[in-house]
């Protein structure tokens, strides 16, 4: 399977997992979704899904196992250890957590405990190649130096630690999960790569309107931080006719979009001045 095909396959799985989780927030499919995000290199998303998952299902050991795996990849060694330990407290035979906690102990210089954990893993599954290699390394060199903490993935798409890629599907998944800012970044990346893609341009404009509508609703409860001059919140994006990006004043809807875009520019300039 080519890298693009592999990435496309993962995207399809992610979309399916998101749909299942949207219908049942307590579904154990969050483990598969978090792992798919991790394989795509979307570590922040993977962490968010896993954290919410173990909160919803606090007695589900695979949830803590995948949480620990994500934390160790992010370099959060202590958090990874806590997650693996919680998983093993629930299920002492959780193979992923045995190997994961062993890696953490190796990083922390605790080779003796790492060796005990790996031996338990091998006893559970003698044909596990990873556990066997860890056992060989630990037995051969008990004073083995710390293993460098893995950095965020930078490999090509499709690799198990691939860097995030920008596609309309990823943007839609972000929107379904409420990550509107991340979705906007994806659309911007896509539009930069293909400036003449009017469909992506329109989606970006609609998303801007949606975000600003939400901000306006939240700001109503905190008037002290509102801009000096407020404008009426425009109609939802799907009710606005015409090219909202260029905002040529004609119809009332187009005028609203023009005012909104002007307001956004003003806010961005004020934020830049504050920084």
Span 149-208, pLDDT tens digits: 344 443 433 344 444 555 676 777 777 767 788 878 888 888 777 777 888 888 888 888
- Gap between the Cα atoms of 202 and 247, Å rounded: 12
- Please give the pLDDT value at position 258: 55
Confidence of residue 26 (pLDDT cuts 50, 70, 90): very high
Is pLDDT above 90 for 234? no
Span 78-116, pLDDT tens digits: 999 999 999 999 999 999 999 999 999 988 888 889 999
Higher-confidence position of 42 and 220: 42
Residue spans per domain, the chain? 3-140, 168-274
CA torsion sign, 34 to 35 to 39 to 41? positive
Q: 3-140 falls under which CATH superfamily?
A: Tetratricopeptide repeat domain (1.25.40.10)
Is pLDDT above 90 for 73? yes
- Please give the pLDDT value at position 264: 54
């Amino acid at each position: 399977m080519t890298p693009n095909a592999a990435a496309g396959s993962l995207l399809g799985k992610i979309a399916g997992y998101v749909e299942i989780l949207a219908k049942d927030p307590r579904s154990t499919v969050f483990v598969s979704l978090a792992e798919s995000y991790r394989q795509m290199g979307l570590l922040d998303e993977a962490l968010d899904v896993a954290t919410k998952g173990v909160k919803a299902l606090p007695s589900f050991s695979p949830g803590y196992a995948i949480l620990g795996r994500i934390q160790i990849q992010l370099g959060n060694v202590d958090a990874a250890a806590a997650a693996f330990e919680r998983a093993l407290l629930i299920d002492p035979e959780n193979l992923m957590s045995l190997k994961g906690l062993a890696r953490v102990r190796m990083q922390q210089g605790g080779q003796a405990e790492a060796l005990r954990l790996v031996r338990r893993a091998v006893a559970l599954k003698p044909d596990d190649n990873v556990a066997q290699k860890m056992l060989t390394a630990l037995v051969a060199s008990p004073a083995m130096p710390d293993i460098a903490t893995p950095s965020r993935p930078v490999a090509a798409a499709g690799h198990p630690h691939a860097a995030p890629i920008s596609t309309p599907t990823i943007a839609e998944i972000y929107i379904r999960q409420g990550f509107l800012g991340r979705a906007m970044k994806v659309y911007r990346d896509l539009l930069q790569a293909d400036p003449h893609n009017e469909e992506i341009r329109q989606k970006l404009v609609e998303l801007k309107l949606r975000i600003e509508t939400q901000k306006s609703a939240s700001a109503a409860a905190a008037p002290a931080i509102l801009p000096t001059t407020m404008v009426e919140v425009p109609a939802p994006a799907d009710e606005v006719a015409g090219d909202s990006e260029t905002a040529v004043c004609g119809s009332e809807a187009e005028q609203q979009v023009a005012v909104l875009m002007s307001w956004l520019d003003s806010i961005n300039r004020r934020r830049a001045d504050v920084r």
